[in-house]
Structure 1
């Protein structure tokens, strides 16, 4: 539901982890498809999605595996344990596909894609999908990334059936010495028509240090205006979350 975590910062962290390397170059070197596969493994003290706990305030282990081409197209699979997908469910399994490219020789880039949220153990039909667009600007140590997410049937047929939802946010990041960086995000989740009383704001701010293939992130998450119909207050109260990511 969207960093150390693809869904928590700006797919994130919200920035998406797409594979490194050129598919054409891999073929020339005789290494082929696997040279364009990458991924990550994250241990976090809480699975946060738009600053709401999706693991009932408990730790989560999350993994991502994806393949990318040098033309910017990527496809992948993200998964996590969860406690937010209905009775009987303990897993979230999210395939995604998109394209991420620089815009000419400028400091601008974009990421456009489709993310499918699936809860295979749930007794209710809560599966849904979002289309997302993340334009970005980066120069020197500063990066700015607004992000837009649209779902035409938010959280499946058994929650808000046929209700569309739109989330928009902006993430700012700044690189510091010794492989540290700071970042923050603020956004709003909105719902159409008579369900607009569910609209809420969310934000997070934190610091990350990168050490080789590992990154360590400490982040404060909070929300404003979440209705108890949508999520229990114990899942939306402000909290510190620590995560360790291993990239490969």
Structure 2
């Protein structure tokens, strides 16, 4: 089965309907405020928007092979919660050297229902039908279902299920978390993290993300975003490229996207709510006798100095960087170039109800210098979900490219703490690391004492792993460890 958008014999010039719709969007947007004040309740239910961008990125890869794209849409929302509409956009999957880079069009129709949970929270479910008109493929359409949770237009979490996605006779699920932070004068900081579970569809799953800034001018907006994907296009779409004779190496190349959009919201919309303040910066310095993670030494049983800098907001969003020296090569062996680990993270924590707190974060692990030494890298990203209640906590971490192995890895951790006497507490942890796709799975556990001296803290702990951990760590990194540490927070 060929991907309908990749058919070399499908040719579309820029649709006159699409041009007219984009022009209508611009004209209507200029008068958006006047229309919003109109008495007609029927008119207030319509919204029109259009976008012109230097590239069209969806699910982490370009739909226009790096060329500019245009899209326009009309949406109808009824006060009862029902709504629907359609969207048209230009796409281009024709490779250089194989055919002219003519534009084709994808059409999307959708219908859904929206619940207003409270003043800020909304839930939305919608069904989508996508079609590629003019395709001579056996099938030129497929369906998607969205389930979304939104908070005051600041955050959106979406689960996107695609049935027969790309007409490849396989299903897939994409998860996306999008955030917008208004910083004043019409500017916002925008970010998105996504994960596409596409093992059956493309032969592999992958993560993708983007970050940037946008500026609003009434009904108009301009934005600049940087995007990247964990897998390269030639690996994800190798079968599609072979079937259609295309070079899809660069469809997931990282880069910047500049876009201009206009939107006429002629129904009443809730204004973005400003967050109620900042927690500000916090940082710490730790000196440890051995940097141990999941029961395994990251420094060949040598000391480490670790620094963290965090910035948090009162609404629960936080970001930061954590740095430590590392050493994965025993003395006398050729160095791998990995001397430092740099962790970049972005997360959101909140109290679900009294005593129970939840946390979701994305961490990117970077090892500068290792690529120059080995012509490869260990860099990878990981999603972490956590919960805590009273003295107990639990975490789950997942990566589809664990330690840059190209394989999935999942770890589970449970913790408990108990204050023995004032300022002295007992901390315990137990965990399981599922490495069955690229090594041996194993368990680890540990216990320690921590003494709180205000800005200073002292600690002493012991860790141990199951025997399976030693099969992948033959130089003693997974042996029993006794760890002493001192930390200073400021």
TM-score, normalisation: structure 2: 0.41
Distance in 1 between the 2:286 and 2:474 partners? 25
Pick the aligned partner of 2:402 from 154, 157, 182.
154
Aligned position for 1:130: 382
2:111 aligned with 1:111, yes or no?
A: no
| Cα drift, residue 48 of structure 1 | 0.6
Contact 1:163–1:192, Cα closer than 8 Å, also in 2: no
* Cα drift, residue 228 of structure 1: 4.7
| Structure 2 CA distance for aligned equivalents of residues 77 and 147 of structure 1 | 20
Work out the CA distance in 2 between the residues paired with 1:145 and 1:173: 9
TM superposition outliers: structure 1 runs of 4+ over 3 Å: 23-26, 226-229
Q: CA RMSD in A?
A: 1.7
CA distance in 1, matches of 2:445, 2:413: 9
Q: How far did residue 176 of structure 1 move?
A: 2.4
Q: Who is 1:222 aligned against? A: 464
Give, in angstroms, the shift of residue 129 of structure 1: 1.4
Aligned counterparts of 1:227 and 1:212: Cα–Cα separation in 2:
36
Name the counterpart of 2:336: 87
Aligned with 1:198: secondary structure?
Answer: coil
Structure 1 residue 88 displacement after superposition: 1.4
Query: What does residue 47 of structure 1 align with?
Result: 291
More contact order relative to length (CA 8 Å, sep ≥ 6): 1
The separation in 1 between residues aligned to 2:328 and 2:411, in whole angstroms, is 19
Q: Deviations over 1:50-72 (max 9, x none)?
A: 11100111000001001000000
The alignment partner of 2:477 has SS state of: helix
The corresponding residue for 1:173 is: 417
Match of 2:43? none
Tell me, yes or no, if structure 1 residue 239 matches structure 2 residue 476: no
What is the deviation of 1:229? 5.4
Equivalenced residue count is: 207
How far apart are the structure 1 equivalents of 2:470 and 2:277?
Answer: 52
CA-CA distance at 1:177 after TM superposition: 1.7
- Please tell me whether the aligned partners of residues 412 and 433 of structure 2 are also in contact (alpha carbons under 8 angstroms): yes
Are the aligned partners of 1:199 and 1:225 in contact in 2 as well (CA < 8 Å)? no
Listed one character per residue, the Cα deviations across residues 108-167 of structure 1 (whole Å, up to 9, x for unaligned) are: 0011101111100113311111100111101xxxx10011000100111xxx2x210000
C-alpha offsets along residues 63-120 of structure 1, whole Å, 9 cap, x if unaligned?
A: 100100000000000000001387012101110010111113x210011101111100
* Aligned counterparts of 1:235 and 1:46: Cα–Cα separation in 2: 10
Q: Does 1:99 align with 2:341?
A: no
Over residues 196-226 of structure 1, what are the superposed CA-to-partner deviations in whole Å (9 max), with x where a residue is unaligned? x510111110000000101111000111133
Q: Secondary structure at the match of 2:328?
A: coil
> Helix, strand or coil for the counterpart of 1:155?
helix
Distance 1:191 1:59 in 2: 27
| Secondary structure of the structure 1 residue equivalent to 2:476 | helix
Q: Are the equivalent residues in 1 in contact too, given 2:424–2:452 (CA < 8 A)?
A: yes
C-alpha distance in structure 1 between counterparts of 2:477 and 2:456, whole Å: 28
Name structure 2 gaps, 5 residues minimum: 1-274, 330-334
Alpha-carbon distance in 2 for matches of 1:180, 1:150: 33
Q: Give the aligned partner of residue 392 of structure 2.
A: 144
CA distance in 1: counterparts of 2:307 and 2:328, whole angstroms: 18
| Runs of 5+ unmatched residues, structure 1 | 1-22, 27-34
1:206 to 448, 462, 486: 448
